[in-house]
Amino acid sequence: MDAPDLQPVRIGLLGCGNVGGALVQLLTGDADGVAHRTGLRFEVRRVAVRNVARERVVELPDGCLTHDAESVVSDPDVDVVVELIGGIEPARKLVLAALKQGKPVVTANKELLANVGAELFEAAATAGVDLLYEASVAGGIPLIRPLRESLAGERITRIMGIVNGTTNYILTRMTEDGASYGDALAEAQGLGYAERDPTADVEGFDAGAKAAILASIAFGVNVVAGDVYREGISGITPGDIDVARRLGYVVKLLAIVEKVDDAVAVRVHPAMIPVTHPLASVRDSFNAVFVEGEAVGELMLYGRGAGGLPTASAVLGDLVDAAHNLRSRSSGRTGTLRQGRFRAIDELSSQYYLNLDVVDRPGVLAAVATVFGEHGVSIRSMEQEGLGDEARLVFITHRARERDVQATLHDLRHLDAVKRVGSLLRVVGPE
């Protein structure tokens, strides 16, 4: 809404794949529109890529491409650096170099932040320079800025997020079409939502890195990917999803970060959530982050968690912020992280869903219930499905400690009448 400044903001772009290409498209395809809306003219001055000869979807000015990323960072004609290489090195070195030279950095790199974020924030604070990373979690959804600015004064108690589109797509297909895990994964791969090796998505590594970043922002403590308890969705069966539906729940892979007393608990695992919960209606490859704060109550931010254009849109928002701050000399509010205390999953409590394949004879339920009782795990509901060889007991517990539930499972596995201990899923309220 301001009158566009004639002096362009000159961007040095590191990486020009899916997101980088979309960013160039946004900046060059609608330069007047962007200038009109933001009061800023952007110019993509230098672009570092691995292979200069490769054909690009977007047109770049002659001589702008190079394979030498360091020369882009140190180019005196580059005002702001956008890091879209991914991975830890050389991204880390390049970002540190840019910050040291007083250049704001915008990055979409979740691995980088979830592993060496604290070091980068320190470097940004020391240099008094912006390090912005809206695109690193939940793609185009405005999330980091609302958490850091709009909710700056808020005491956040818990964040639960659907932050991996691939697994949400797979679980949606299993829920809506009755597909098996394998078929839904194959469909996701066919659509390009899942990689040929889907481990990073389906085993929760991607969501874990995002959980670490969310916890760092929400609580101001240094949380790295390795601190995150993690379970994936590859063990979820159509049977689990069926039972969940009958009981009024849906199964989602959640990244949960919460404050427990003075400690922080960070975890990723599939969970059963009530169908009336706002997260339950987040379908297909969409992401959403549900925030609970003491004053603000419940919030949810929903949108596209991935894809070139949505992610580039988040990068552009950060670029606008960095450029304004640079011009008004008010950069460097990224903040630093302190060491936090963690609460291990063992010590957390939750409601649980679990199922057991059992021998169908009198006295089995009594034997099973005795094991629950010995560990102080109280049963909220039980139902038997099937008969004879197909007999299965399905339990929902009252709130219980993880450690006690795991001890219960351990003992159940040694019970003669129990043929197989099936899925264990944590249940998110209502109690």
Stretch that binds a copy of itself, among 35-43, 191-199, 265-273, 358-366 (CB under 8 A): 35-43
Q: Look up residue 156 and give its DSSP letter.
A: E
Question: Contact at 8 Å (CB) between 171 and 238?
Answer: no
410 belongs to the binding site for a copy of itself (CB under 8 A): no
Nearer to a copy of itself, 216 or 355 (CB): 216
Element (H, E) at 384: strand 379-385
Token duo for residue 334: 């990224």
Q: Does 238 bind a copy of itself (CB under 8 A)?
A: no
Token pair listed for 298: 């419940």
Closest CB to a copy of itself among residues 1, 53: 1
> Using CB under 8 A, which residues numbered 312 to 351 contact a copy of itself?
312-314, 316-317, 319-321, 324-325, 328-330, 333, 335-338
Q: 193: which 2 tokens? A: 């939502």
Query: Longest C-alpha distance within the chain, in Å?
Result: 84
Tokens of 422: 């099936």
User: For residues 278 and 373, which CB has a smaller minimum distance to a copy of itself in the complex?
Assistant: 278
Give the chain's length: 431
Residue 153: CB atoms within 10 A of its CB come to 9
The stretch among 189-197, 252-260, 304-312, 383-391 that binds a copy of itself (CB under 8 A) is 304-312
Quick one: CA dihedral 277, 312, 225, 196, positive or negative?
Answer: positive
From 60-68, 150-158, 255-263, 384-392, give the range in contact with a copy of itself by CB under 8 A. Answer: 150-158
Name which position in 19, 24, 34, 98 contacts a copy of itself (CB under 8 A).
34
Neighbours of 428 (CB within 10 A): 21
**Cα gap 311→322, rounded to integer Å:** 17
Closest to a copy of itself by CB, 30 or 68: 30
In angstroms, the CA 263 to CA 412 distance is: 31
Catalytic residue status for 210: yes
Query: Which listed residue (104, 117, 232, 303) binds a copy of itself by CB under 8 A?
Result: 303
**Per-residue x/- marks for a copy of itself, 38-57, CB under 8 A?**
xx------------------
Q: Is 13 in the site for a copy of itself (CB under 8 A)?
A: no
User: Rule CB under 8 A: is residue 245 a binding residue for a copy of itself?
Assistant: no
Residues of this chain, 207-226, that bind a copy of itself according to CB under 8 A: 220
Cis previous bond, 430, omega within 30: yes
CA separation for the pair 311, 298 (Å, rounded)? 25
- Give the residue among 289, 296, 270, 304 at the shortest CA–CA distance from 211: 289
Q: Which of 93, 100, 103, 210 is catalytic?
A: 210
Question: Which residues between 95 and 134 bind a copy of itself (CB under 8 A)?
Answer: 134
Number of neighbouring beta carbons within 10 Å of residue 285: 22
Residues forming the site for a copy of itself (CB under 8 A): 1-2, 22, 26, 30, 33-34, 37-39, 134, 140-142, 145-146, 149-155, 220, 276, 278, 280-283, 286, 288, 293-304, 307, 309-310, 312-314, 316-317, 319-321, 324-325, 328-330, 333, 335-338
Residues with catalytic function:
210
